[in-house]
């Protein structure tokens, strides 16, 4: 689906309806609450980013504020903090996915119809594609256009 196509505009308009917003509150609301509860705590596991946060907290030691990922990897504390962030990030993402899956019974009928229509169009356009690839495409649209949009800008969606 292209960003400027009429089907995308129709999908976007439908996704802003109350029934879809209610589904998002059920499906991703808990994840958003968890993320808000973290406050300013970062979950970015990238070593250079972790190093910067760690370096700012080191008042007793004189360490440079910036380092490459290779230099940052030389600090055990930075590696441990990165691992903890990775674990928390995977934990939050796993719970989010479980919440979305568990809320599947609350998906509005209109959204299910849009997904079914997208599946039929996918099968017509790509008749050689197996079912798993077709579901992957429809699921990707569902997540990228709907769930991810709500997670990245909840004030606009929920």
How many residues appear in the chain? 158
> CB of 74 within 8 A of CB of 13?
no
For residue 1, is pLDDT > 60?
A: no
pLDDT digits (tens, 9 = 90+) for 72-120: 999 999 999 999 999 999 999 999 999 999 999 999 998 898 888 888 8
Give the Cα separation of 8 and 26 in Å (integer). 24
For residue 16, is pLDDT > 80?
A: no
Six token digits for residue 114 = 């849009």
Give the Cα separation of 97 and 7 in Å (integer). 26
Model confidence band, residue 141 (pLDDT cutoffs 50, 70, 90)? confident
pLDDT digits (tens, 9 = 90+) for 37-74: 888 889 999 999 999 999 988 877 788 888 888 999 99
Six token digits for residue 12 = 């976007």
Give the Cα separation of 52 and 67 in Å (integer). 8
pLDDT at 118: 85
- pTM for the structure as a whole: 0.75
């Amino acid at each position: 689906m292209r960003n400027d196509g009429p089907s995308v505009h129709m999908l976007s308009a439908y996704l802003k309806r109350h029934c879809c917003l209610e589904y998002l509150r059920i499906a991703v609301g808990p994840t958003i609450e968890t993320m808000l509860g973290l406050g300013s705590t970062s979950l970015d596991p990238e070593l250079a980013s972790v190093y910067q946060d760690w370096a700012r907290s080191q008042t007793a030691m004189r360490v440079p504020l910036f380092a490459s990922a290779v230099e940052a990897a030389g600090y055990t504390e930075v590696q441990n903090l990165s691992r903890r962030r990775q674990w928390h990030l995977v934990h939050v993402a796993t719970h989010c996915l479980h919440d979305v899956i568990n809320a599947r019974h609350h998906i509005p009928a209109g959204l299910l119809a849009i997904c079914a229509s997208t599946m039929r169009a996918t099968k017509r356009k790509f008749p050689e594609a197996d079912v798993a690839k077709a579901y992957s495409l429809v699921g990707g649209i569902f997540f990228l256009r709907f769930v991810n949009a709500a997670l990245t800008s909840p004030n606009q969606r929920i």
